[in-house]
Structure 1
Amino acid sequence: MLARVWRKKHDRRNAFRVLIDYVTRAEAEREPEVESLTNCLSLDTAHAEMLAVAHRSALVRGPALHIVISWREGEQPETRQALEAGRAALDALGMPPEQHQYVIAIHRDTDNVHLHVVVNRVSLVTGRAVHPGLSHLKLDRCMRGLELAQGWQRDRGPYVVVEREGQPVVERSLVRGPQQHRMPARARDLEVFGGMESVLTYARGAPLRDALAALDAPGAMWQDVHEALARHGLELRLKGRGLAVCVKDDVGLTPVKASSVHPRLAHGRLETALGAWVEPSRIIRVLDARRRYIEREVGELPSDLGEEHAQMRAQLRVRYNIESAQARSALETAQTNLRRHHKAEHQAMLKRHREVRERIRASALPGAERKAASSVAAFTRARELELLFERQIGERAALGKPQSWREWVEMLAARGDEAAILQLCAWARRHPRGRTVQPQPRNWFASVGAQDIDPLPPAKAQVMQNWIWRVDTTTGNVDYERRGERQFTDEGYRIAFGSHDAQLDVMLAGLLLARQKFGRHIDVGGNEHFLERTAMLAALYHVDVRFGDPRLEARRQVLVNERDERERWMREKRERDWLDREPGSVGQTGDSRPQSQRVASQVPGGGADLDPEHGHTTAPER
């Protein structure tokens, strides 16, 4: 379990409202999957109650405190256990739940179940604010205790569980340096809460291995280390009295301490091994990197395909930033012009009604009639202004707003854009929010071994040109439809059929798509009827595949041999028919039967036919 105080600046007057709306997802379009609890009168009035108590302390600044507690992936705490963890965290920070107002929300729609606690630092009893210093140490000690009490897997942190006289005890860890694998808070937050690989994790992978190999080489020099890091898009730079590992092409990313990547990369130890500090040469500075740090998922395999997909997603984000900036600029221009036009309309209407009032005042009407005319003019003015404001509000709303990153990606994915589909798949793996659990398909074609394959963009699916396809904007999967019904789905690592008894033409299309995606080696899953028809289709239509199931592959080989034998005898039949049509060739065989019967009698099985519906041979009627 991990916990931390999430520090974010909010306006003092609306901090409670903003945080409570965020953790309870009050503005969600659909019913949020959040379990919430508060010791205030209600969730709707919690922010007002907290603000009223906070006003009792004249010196407090930022009375709202936001705590986040996260469990490991796969751990599913009960509601009782989650609430116990939230209250224990408040006790650890010196804010007993009985004396402080709080709102607790449990989120279960991500890979890691996590808990949000919004608490008022001002006490209900004393009216004084609590200042929870060293909150990261207090919370980490509390988490170790909760792991022991509730039986969760232990996470690394400043505190560890040790055995003392046969009893588990929580103590401050005395281990320092690389054995503890410490990670800065911002990098840890990026990976735990954002699911993205940090610069530190990236540098500790292949770049570190190459840098240490360069250090261990005989006659190692500073330029060797610089070159090893430069091939991965990283660079060593002086920062204060030490060294930092920076991303070469992105100055906006925070550099990491070289010693946090590995102790051997510390400034002092490198100077001891290589001599005084030397800047990287100009050739190394302009060296093309084989790999670069880009936002990729934590645990994503550093394969060539994964690197290519990560690059495509990064380029997609660049495209969005450009188009979004252009859309915002166009929207600001349109809003300025519309605002100017609306102002002119408003002023023109006011001027017109002012002239009407002046004419009424200057008229020779009796007092009662002039007063009545003024009332009618005032009513007409109010009504026309109301209609004007309603129309102007509609015109401003019609301008719309630039699409968000998610909306823009979903729009491109619906058009079949490959990078957008990859981005949807990455989101689905990282944050499975709102995904409904689909029943496991009984029939499917899958890759042998590889599980990191994304759906094939419909434009690249050569055999699916005449099919109707739709992209699921939640998962990135591609559904292929015919006759108004979904026939099968490209889920990336497999082709899953929606029907338990798919038609032969649908199965053949799915098999050819699997051959294009996965190559020759394919796994097949399903009932015996589906397996038999798959082997039959592969043999009948000469599909160059090999099945991972030995029994199914053996059956395919049998059908291929039968097909080859049948085609061989059919070729011989055509040759004999051609000879029979030549002059003087009739009767040379000494058989008075028709040529077709003579050939059929020589074919193994008596001219048996291959039944495409059931995948086996049937004897012809005699």
Structure 2
Amino acid sequence: MLGKVGKSRVGAKSAGKSPFADLVNYVAREADGKGREVDKEEMGVLNLDADVEDMDLVIRQMNMAAAKTAKNGKFKGDPVYHLILSWQEGDKPTPKQVKDCVQHTLKALGMAECQAVWAIHHDTDNDHVHIAVNRVHPEKGIVMGPPRRDYHVIDKAMRELELIHGFRRDNGPYVTLDTENGPQIVRMSRKERAEKGLLKHGDEIGPRTTPAAKAAERSQGAPSFQEWAQWGPTNAMHDALEKPDAMWRDLHEALAPYGIQIQTKGTGMVVSTTLENGRILACPISKLDRNFTKMRLEQRLGTFTPPSPSFSQKPATTTYADFLHEAQSGHQQDGPAPHDGVAPGRGDNGQRAKRRAERQQAREDLHTRYQADQQRIKDTRRDARKALLARQKVEREAQRQDHKGRKSLFITRKVATGMGRQAATSLWAYTAASEKEALQKRHLKERHALPRTMVWRDWLEQQAAPPIEDESAKAALRGIRYRERRNDNQKKNGIEGEEVEELKPILSKLHHEIDHRRQLIHYRDAQGRDLFTDTGPRIDVHDRAESTVEAALRIAAQKYGAVDITGSSAFREQAARAAARLGIQVRDTDLQKVWQLEREAMQPKQPQRGDETQRMGKTDRPDPRPGRPGKER
């Protein structure tokens, strides 16, 4: 499990606006851009006299508690605390477990008595819970937290929850070590974690990916501009800097073929490129290499000099825009390398190559359709929005006139019933404000319902979901997820290969469960234990029993033809021997000897030459017994 503190709110700066409204509404909906509300059974509230059915009441109660600090004037900070807890892929916490995790973490932060609302989100491959917490105590009216260095407190709570509920372990400032006395949670510095190979990112193992680059990589379904620039463009910069008399002009010339420019920004420096639609992408130059800081480059090359107007820039031949188009249209390989060979005794008469060509064409058509859809939305959205705003303006004016005509009659009727004029006027003000707020909410929903352009990943998920269920979109999503986990998968026990068919159950004898949203097929035994999971281009093997490995290999052979094996050395050798016995081709170079030895061990032993001569001698002797046909007497 991992925990982090998120943004407290989006835009509650204006006076009179609730500081909790934006975050609570965000928590109550899936964060996938589709506006889907979270299932009420996967939501909960703490220390509130309201339930998940009435989010407006929840917001009002949190506002009232926070307002207590405004009266004494001692606290002028942000009363909102946004906490996010995330589980590793494969962990499926129940709402009861999630509630316990929320309460445990808030108790560790000293905020157990604070108001909070939480909801489970499934819009990524890792289930996670968003928690909106009111830092102000609902009764005491004082700020309850969080403590200094709250991320350390949160991380330790995550290790504790992993042990309590049996969730898969993760690493942070605190690490769980197995000792003779049982699991122990210990604090480790970044240096210690780097030495033990527990550090996932950071300067110790390379430039850290920025949050914006991570978000772009997910939404685009392709490596981010930062990751792409860390290869060819960075190597070109290194080559230019190797010249003894290198100048800024040499760096500009080295990056020109990639369509990249170097610019100063604030006190630092960035590299940028322009996409086909005119959008500019940029990242700090230090994210390409930690030695590429403005200070170090200027120490080496002198004060930064932008390219002069007379600079004859080389034409860009390898741009990020071209790379992105090729990646999304399927020309960049997402999954394992293509395979046209066949295992011994198997043949496909070129069917794999044919299916590969068909899938490539379908992927290109899919990307063309995506571009056409986005262009159509751009062309129609402006006129649709203009017409909607004009209609809403008319409705607001009609409501204003209606209120103007009803006000005096409303107050007169209330006074006639014995209510004081001042109380009747206040009641009218409340009634009019409620109607106005209802109209504003309806108008906001109508504006949100306008068609919007979608990023590639969200559009693919829309096309893969019912009722469309486009098979090309499903295959593209499986390829994207494989690429995102390529490095991590090498450490996990599994079998990989080129996927050319649609994802479907193959072994009917095993119990299977299809996860349509994540495009997975879970194979389980009769007791419900996970055996292996088919993700499309890869089969993750969870159980090392011989029967499980052979079953996974049979599925892999039918899907891929030939296989790559990843994971521990013991598992790879076990799977390679099983593949040899089943006649399944293994593509890993380092496993060829193991595979060949197992094949030779299966062959019947040939008789030795001496034994063969001896047997022949015995056969050629005349039989002294009479009556044997075919023998001399």
Say which structure, 1 or 2, has more relative contact order (CA 8 Å, 6+ apart).
Answer: 2
Highest CA radius of gyration, 1 or 2? Answer: 1
TM-score, normalising length: structure 1: 0.49
TM-score, normalising length: structure 2: 0.48
